[in-house]
Structure 1
Amino acid sequence: MTAPVTPSQRLPNQLARVHMVGIGGAGMSGLARILLARGGEVSGSDAKDSRGLLALRTRGAQIHVGHDPAALDLLDGGPTVVVTTHAAIPKDNPELVAARERGVPILYRPQVLALLMDGYRTLLISGTHGKTSTTSMAVVALQHIGSDPSFAIGGELNESGTNAHHGSGDVFVAEADESDGSLLEYTPDVVVVTNIEVDHLDFFGTEDAYVEVFDSFAAHIRTGGTLVICLDDPGSAKLGGRVARSLADRGVTVLGYGSGVHADLAPDVPLVAELLEVAPRGAGSTTAIRLHPPLTGAAVERSLSVTLPGRHMALNALGALAGCVRTGQDPDAVAEGIEGFGGVHRRFELRGRAREVDVYDDYAHHPTEVRAVLSAARDVVTYNQGRVIAVFQPHLYSRTAEFAAEFAAALSLADEVVVADVFGARETPQPGVSGRLISDEVTVPAVFVPNMSEIADAVAQRARHGDVVLTIGAGDITMQAASILSALADDE
């Protein structure tokens, strides 16, 4: 059910009639849902039809399949603004060209999201890895409390099947994406930084430039707000070490979570959400935590069940807990909400079982993410004495060339590896760059299968009872999970 719109949530005139180029994308479709729920008129275009576009049409959006200047006339009076994205839509898109010719303002998605957040208490989750899972845990926890937050996340919640919502509460939860520097559009109340590890060099150019964007983002936190950093990650801890005193000078509190592995890098940051122990339990874990003031009145220990496996997910849960508490919520109620978290689409998502083989799917597309998800899979197979088979599709030619050795090392945590060819996304092929760069360096049995139609059979030939198969990557490798399950079933 859509929450009613209060006077403070009325759309600014600029957003009365919005045309969205690439409206079917994950972030754009979520934005469209919020705009529609708050009374805006929305039109849009996308390269092909989809179930997502059908869902938006049922909510009142006017959508054209294909990119055509005529799409700007779908709304009576034409759009008051055109919305696009940094990476996915080229600047010579015919609708963007027509908007410039007509003098219609063009905004990027984060600029519009920032306008929609105005008037809310905002909890934003940032970091190189773990944003979607941490944001989703925070949303589910707040929903459990009954606060009905508005939210915009990068994946669909299993509980609600959506990635965005206009809620009746006064809290807005969202991911703050650093990949193109767009997180600097926001002025948040509470920020959680999960980790910082160099990535997106195709945009930033240097590691220093990438790291610096997080310092700039921290400087955007409102007076009286909070920065929550993971003290088990050196990049995040170093951020706290650099900015804690300057933020304190203007009334921003900096707090830490984790077991404090790198607490020495942030001597001015107290560890307030402490991870004591992570005990694998089936496809999840039971963690022991200790909360300290100011999250609680006095130090208190408790257990926290996490439904997804791996220490990284336990840390994400702790970051979500700390972030929610700093928006004014009760710690015990938040913890209970996190324990009910049912997962996110494409984040260690169980897609099915066939021939006593469990097939999971995960969006991991950076070496650290791959390492984390395979470590989590290792926890799962200890219960059924099986093996881990990784089916990995590299994402972007630039990232493959930059991190081939690191990907190979991470994939070597599996027992067997199948590597697909590169999913180029927005990039054109680079000579000599293919999935073979990775498969040749893997230290466990590995095979390069460039033809996607052959992957399912290659996996079925290798899988045995009790194994866990993981399709991993940010591209269309997710579609292989169903094919693998079918191939396994055919072999029964």
Structure 2
Amino acid sequence: MAPGLPTAMERPHFIGIGGAGMSGIAKILAQRGGKVAGSDAKESATAEALRALGVTVHIGHAAEHLADDASCVVVSSAIRKDNPELARAAELGIPVVHRSDALAALMDGLRPIAVAGTHGKTTTTSMLAVSLSELGLKPSYAIGGDLDAPGSNALHGEGDIFVAEADESDRSFHKYAPEVAIVLNVELDHHANYASMDEIYESFETFAGRIVPGGSLVISSDHEGARELTRRLAGSVRTVTYGEAEDADVRVLSVVPQGLKSEVTVLLDGQELTFAVSVPGRHYAHNAVAALAAGVALGVPAAELASALASYTGVKRRLQLKGEAAGVQVIDSYAHHPTEMTADLEAMRAAAGEARILVVFQPHLFSRTQELGKEMGQSLALADASVVLDIYPAREDPIPGVTSELIIEAARAAGADVTPVHDKAEVPEVVAGMAKAGDLVLTMGAGDVTDLGPRILDRLAK
């Protein structure tokens, strides 16, 4: 039976309640009986989904939005110190809680699975949430993306398992104490918070050190960063490796593409197990194997979990088909790091056959573009043609000299066909002039490029 509501969370106020991580915690607190309120910069489907649960959602940030009797104010690392609601909390003496502490409090008393890694966290967390639910285990979960509808990124379940996405970007995953932790991969990212790979490794070592006694670390045997982390941990935690390497504990024997799906065969405890993955690409197949290994480490029968994994049909923005018009399919990709971009483009190339692949790419963060702009451009060379937008700043201020031109130059140097577009409103017309029946169009990036999919489809339909 899941625990009740932490006392400090009875009347929480969330600043930025519409964000993927924040909205999930708010949803679970509301489902546990909390009187939840919050604010966000703009209206959204997520805000409406929260209101349907009885959550008070204010639009815009203002001191008067914070109720005097709030038990705490929940913030993420993206909230600036001059936020008026944060200032009002200080005046009233209301405790300020980081979202990771709020999530850790929700997991207390349960059997947490924490999913970490530079790429693939949302997909793997979603796969576990869906498959464990399919088996009737009624898990709670908090995911960094919606499964099939706005607000479906989190659920308060009646069972004793809690599946959570563990974010390394601001070291907040150090707050969790999982029974099973997953590390999918380890790469240098989030350059505003990490200066080197050594700092990244140290952060992941701290995360692994938080696993409860008797718990397990499920970690890739293929990814060099993950293998280095395993070496650094040197047996300090029970480790279960997965992947195509011959020494993997859960060895991937084959990944067979079947259109926009895959069939995966693994060797587990001396037995071969074959199951379907309803999203394309080798990297998503490996995410499914990580989910399988984690569930088995928690005591779920392997054959049952493998069968249940087939019920996962995807998460929004992870190679999500948005529709088709004039014979052109439009697919949305959250990829924003070169490794993710390459993986998604290779997956689409394997699934598309002879079809052309056109990409609308929006770089995410000035710091990431400064460090990885060249590699982003090289990834775009895998497409037949690309449109590149201006950088989506998110929480960052501009960096002098850092623009999308860094990516465009690198892409052209790699032989890519690239068209820069500075006004998003022009993209549907540009794409309509490029696309032909049979083509695949990918809107790619972690910002608001996702909004362009429906507009491109509308323009193609005319």
Please report the TM-score for the alignment, with normalisation by the length of structure 2.
0.97
Q: d(CA) in 2 for partners of 1:165 and 1:278?
A: 31
Q: d(CA) in 2 for partners of 1:300 and 1:390?
A: 41
Deviation at 1:160, TM superposition (A): 8.9
Give % identity: 46
Task: Identify the residue that residue 13 of structure 1 maps to in structure 2.
Answer: 7
Is structure 2 residue 439 aligned with structure 1 residue 467?
Answer: yes
Q: Please list, as runs of the form range in 1=range in 2, the aligned pairs for 1:52-201 lying within 5 A after superposition.
A: 52-73=46-67, 78-87=69-78, 89-158=79-148, 162-201=152-191
Task: Identify the residue that residue 34 of structure 1 maps to in structure 2.
Answer: 28
Task: Identify the residue that residue 391 of structure 1 maps to in structure 2.
Answer: 360
Q: d(CA) in 2 for partners of 1:174 and 1:72?
A: 28
> Which amino acid is 1:396 matched to?
L
Q: d(CA) in 2 for partners of 1:26 and 1:402?
A: 25
Q: d(CA) in 2 for partners of 1:285 and 1:159?
A: 24
Deviation at 1:287, TM superposition (A): 1.7
Q: Moved runs in structure 1, 4+ residues, more than 6 A?
A: none
Q: d(CA) in 2 for partners of 1:63 and 1:311?
A: 40
SS of the residue 2:233 aligns to? helix
SS of the residue 1:32 aligns to? helix
Deviation at 1:459, TM superposition (A): 1.5
Deviation at 1:106, TM superposition (A): 0.5
Is structure 2 residue 312 aligned with structure 1 residue 327?
Answer: no
CA RMSD of aligned residues (A): 1.4
SS of the residue 2:235 aligns to? helix
Q: Which runs of 5+ in 2 are unaligned?
A: none
Q: d(CA) in 1 for partners of 2:391 and 2:404?
A: 6
Q: d(CA) in 2 for partners of 1:458 and 1:156?
A: 29
Q: Please list, as runs of the form range in 1=range in 2, the aligned pairs for 1:347-426 lying within 5 A after superposition.
A: 347-382=318-353, 385-426=354-395
Q: Deviations over 1:111-139 (max 9, x none)?
A: 00000001110111000000000110011
> Which amino acid is 2:459 matched to?
A
1:311 pairs, out of 282, 285, 307, with 282
Task: Identify the residue that residue 295 of structure 1 maps to in structure 2.
Answer: none
Deviation at 1:42, TM superposition (A): 1.0
Is structure 2 residue 248 aligned with structure 1 residue 276?
Answer: no
Q: d(CA) in 2 for partners of 1:10 and 1:162?
A: 21
SS of the residue 2:318 aligns to? coil
Is structure 2 residue 37 aligned with structure 1 residue 43?
Answer: yes
Paired positions, count: 459
Q: d(CA) in 1 for partners of 2:385 and 2:170?
A: 35
* More displaced 10-residue stretch of structure 1: 173-182 or 448-457: 448-457
Q: d(CA) in 2 for partners of 1:358 and 1:425?
A: 28
SS of the residue 1:114 aligns to? helix
Q: d(CA) in 2 for partners of 1:318 and 1:30?
A: 25
> Which amino acid is 2:416 matched to?
V
Q: d(CA) in 1 for partners of 2:234 and 2:276?
A: 31
> Which amino acid is 1:64 matched to?
H
1:346 pairs, out of 317, 331, 341, with 317
Deviation at 1:29, TM superposition (A): 1.2
* More displaced 10-residue stretch of structure 1: 401-410 or 435-444: 435-444
CA contact (8 A) 2:356 2:384 kept: yes
CA contact (8 A) 1:460 1:487 kept: yes
Task: Identify the residue that residue 240 of structure 2 maps to in structure 1.
Answer: 255
> Which amino acid is 1:86 matched to?
S
Q: d(CA) in 1 for partners of 2:226 and 2:91?
A: 44
Q: d(CA) in 2 for partners of 1:476 and 1:455?
A: 13
Q: d(CA) in 1 for partners of 2:178 and 2:206?
A: 12
Q: Please list, as runs of the form range in 1=range in 2, the aligned pairs for 1:229-268 lying within 5 A after superposition.
A: 229-247=219-237, 253-260=238-245
Q: d(CA) in 2 for partners of 1:381 and 1:464?
A: 14
Q: d(CA) in 2 for partners of 1:245 and 1:231?
A: 15
CA contact (8 A) 2:179 2:211 kept: yes
Q: Deviations over 1:157-205 (max 9, x none)?
A: 1289600000011100000000000000101100010000100111122
Please report the TM-score for the alignment, with normalisation by the length of structure 1.
0.91
Is structure 2 residue 272 aligned with structure 1 residue 301?
Answer: yes
* More displaced 10-residue stretch of structure 1: 385-394 or 147-156: 385-394
Q: Which runs of 5+ in 1 are unaligned?
A: 1-5, 248-252, 264-270, 293-298
> Which amino acid is 2:279 matched to?
L
Q: d(CA) in 1 for partners of 2:55 and 2:150?
A: 21
Deviation at 1:286, TM superposition (A): 1.2
CA contact (8 A) 1:386 1:465 kept: no
CA contact (8 A) 1:381 1:466 kept: no
